[in-house]
Amino acid sequence: MILVPIQILRGLAALMVVWHHARHEADLLALRGGGPALDPGMVLPWWGGVDLFFVISGLVIVLASARLYGAPGGRTRFLAHRIARVVPLYWLVSLLYLGLALARPDLLGAAAGLVREPVALLAGFLFWPAARPDGIVQPLYGLGWTLNYEAFFYVLFAAGLGFGRRGAVVWLIAVLGLLVTAGIVWPDLPLALRFWANPIVLEFAAGAGLALAYRGGARPAAPLRIGLGALGVLGLILAARLLAGLGEADGGLRPLLVGVPATLLVASALGPEHDKAQVARRSGPIRAFVILGDASYALYLVHPFALRLVREILARAGTAFALHPQFAMVLMLAASVAAALLVHRVIETPLTRRFRRILDSGTSQNRVRAGAGPVSHGRRPD
């Protein structure tokens, strides 16, 4: 059983991040050819797709772990499935990026400096926060900053599985709350703790809280869900306007201005569950977005390659500067989606299944369904 609106939100969250990065690539095209630049204003904080992913992740992990609460070996099985879901594709794209860093370090800027820092480079593959030579806490493949938070969330949640569903959620919220408080009171914590004490982690707690309420019987009526969704969208529009003046969304501002509307959007998606096989037999936009939701992790990880490939093709073909940046962005978005669907079907799904068989020898009825993929972190909110 799946929540179809949550699947749709997963796809939309990934598209938001792709659109955000496509804006950057389109601006580079304009700079290279003297064409029109994009209007710096934004209708939505497109990078907020990450925040939407974090809330969804908190929700899905709590819902999908129903058979593991208090079960013997539940923690091991949960982590095995999380590893199988997240690690193979991330390591694959990171290795590709490493190859690029070795072959053309001039293309990667400060990130290429990690090649000369083996400890920090290894830390990125192990989801441990480490600083790059320029001081930004990011792995070699910059998008991995979100996975550093996801991995921490998984370990923390696994530690609470023995407490039952309610106890696990209370444990998660309490630890994350204490950690964020510690980061505020003691700003000079060790780097890893300082990274995990970022208030953005409260978005996982928000999603977990929604899951607990949903399993407790909270089922918003359709009019209320529509209202929550409208408030969420309006909140994101307001956040884009406010942050246009501030320029940064660090610290508590990000979960407040973007995380709260993201939570409202996820709450608006908590309707009735549907059988996934029945949804798969449907046609039309709903099925298309469910498929995109399934491929959202692949879309998040592979889209930078697709964006830059399209940018270079357009630039070298000499047609890029005749295109309005918005048209170039649409081409980049289409290429990213096509690449993600291909990677999801041909690479990600087989890899995930194989690693699950290797890591989990338990019975199928105890297995955790694949949850929400994550979906940028540095000094700017991208």
Please tell me the distance from the alpha carbon of residue 216 to that of residue 204, in angstroms, as a whole number. 18
Which pLDDT value is given to residue 286?
A: 83
192-226 tens-digit pLDDT: 999 999 999 999 999 999 999 999 988 889 999 99
Above 90 in pLDDT, residue 304?
yes
Q: Which of 309, 308, 273, 268 is nearest to 290 (CA)?
A: 273
Which residues have CB under 8 Å from 90's CB, separation 6+? 141, 144, 147, 301
Average pLDDT over the chain, rounded to whole?
87
Above 50 in pLDDT, residue 378?
no
Of 55-59, 93-97, 308-312, the poorest mean pLDDT is in: 308-312
What's the rounded mean pLDDT across residues 73-99? 94
What's the rounded mean pLDDT across residues 285-295? 89
Above 90 in pLDDT, residue 12?
yes
In a domain, 346, yes or no: yes
Please tell me the distance from the alpha carbon of residue 126 to that of residue 325, in angstroms, as a whole number. 37
What's the rounded mean pLDDT across residues 20-32? 83
Exposure string over 82-110, b if 16+ CB within 10 A, otherwise e = bbbbbbbbbebbbeebbebbeeeeeebee
Q: Are 346 and 89 in contact (CB under 8 A)?
A: no
Which pLDDT value is given to residue 53?
A: 97
Which pLDDT value is given to residue 255?
A: 94
DSSP SS3 for 9: helix
pTM for this predicted structure = 0.90
In a domain, 372, yes or no: no
Which pLDDT value is given to residue 113?
A: 66
Of 186-200, 227-241, 279-293, the poorest mean pLDDT is in: 279-293
In a domain, 380, yes or no: no
Percent of the chain past pLDDT 70, that is, above it, reads: 84
Above 80 in pLDDT, residue 275?
no
Which of 227 and 243 is assigned the larger pLDDT?
Answer: 227
Percent of the chain past pLDDT 90, that is, above it, reads: 62
89-104 tens-digit pLDDT: 999 999 998 888 787 7
Chain centre distance of CA 172: 19
Above 90 in pLDDT, residue 46?
yes
Above 80 in pLDDT, residue 276?
no
How many domains would you assign to the chain? 1
Q: At what angle do helices 49-64 and 202-215 cross, to 10 degrees?
A: 40
Of 41-45, 189-193, 221-225, 294-298, the poorest mean pLDDT is in: 41-45
Which pLDDT value is given to residue 110?
A: 59
In a domain, 375, yes or no: no
107-155 tens-digit pLDDT: 666 566 677 788 888 999 999 999 887 788 999 899 999 999 999 999 9
Q: Which of 9, 21, 48 is nearest to 259 (CA)?
A: 48
Which pLDDT value is given to residue 328?
A: 85
Which pLDDT value is given to residue 42?
A: 79
Q: Which of 42, 17, 15, 19 is nearest to 237 (CA)?
A: 42
Give φ, ψ of 137 to 5 degrees: -85, 90
195: region left, alpha or beta (phi > 0 left; psi from -120 to 50 alpha): alpha
Above 90 in pLDDT, residue 188?
yes
**Sign of CA pseudo-dihedral 206, 376, 330, 2:** negative
> From residue 166, how far is each of 6, 33, 129, 352 by CA, in Å?
21, 57, 29, 29
Which pLDDT value is given to residue 33?
A: 61
Which pLDDT value is given to residue 34?
A: 57
Which pLDDT value is given to residue 321?
A: 55
Q: At what angle do helices 260-268 and 222-246 cross, to 10 degrees?
A: 160
Which of 31 and 119 is assigned the larger pLDDT?
Answer: 119
In a domain, 254, yes or no: yes
What's the rounded mean pLDDT across residues 65-72? 91
Which residues have CB under 8 Å from 168's CB, separation 6+? 62, 65, 69, 157, 160, 161
In a domain, 309, yes or no: yes
Give φ, ψ of 274 to 5 degrees: -130, 150
Which pLDDT value is given to residue 313?
A: 87
Which pLDDT value is given to residue 347?
A: 96
In a domain, 374, yes or no: no
In a domain, 371, yes or no: no
What's the rounded mean pLDDT across residues 165-170? 96
Token pair belonging to 268: 């608006």
Which pLDDT value is given to residue 375?
A: 35
Banded model confidence at residue 323, pLDDT cuts 50, 70, 90: low
Q: Which domain holds residue 78?
A: 4-366
Which pLDDT value is given to residue 298?
A: 97
